Amino acid sequence: MSVSAVSGAAASPSTAASDVAKATLDYNAFLTLMLEQMKNQDPTAPVDHAQNLAQLASFSNVEQSIKLNSKLDLLLAQGQAADAAGLIGKTLTSADGTVSGRITSVEIAGQGLVAHLEGGQSLTMATGVRLS
């Protein structure tokens, strides 16, 4: 049986958790389809089992890669949190020297670490920012 490629619009970015959920759903759907194919195959021309196993192994590898990426993202976030905790109490000065103060809290944002200073100012940790 031959299946042609399907093309479409690119998917929007999603979180690692939804990727894992999608992979699990797709993996279960693949297993259901494979079992139905085996149940309904023509006994005089059976499907090659080696091909089925190769497809199953490939799909399993994709699922494991998604789970591994999810765990690596979590590990990276934990590392950033540990780094952020070590900054509290230190003095931070902007690259141009206009903003300076003691760090009271640190936020992990999309653009990186954002330090909140005494006096209510915030400063994104970027190139040129001095920490003392």
Could you report how far apart the first and last alpha carbons of the chain are, in Å?
67
Q: CA-CA distance, 4 to 29, in Å (whole number)?
A: 19
CB atoms within 10 A of CB 103: 20
Q: In tens digits, what is the pLDDT along the chain, a chain of 132 residues?
A: 444 444 334 444 445 556 555 655 666 777 787 788 778 877 777 777 787 778 778 877 878 888 899 899 889 888 888 888 888 888 888 888 888 889 888 888 777 788 888 888 888 887 778 888
Single-letter code of the amino acid located at 57: A
CB atoms within 10 A of CB 95: 12
pTM of this structure: 0.47
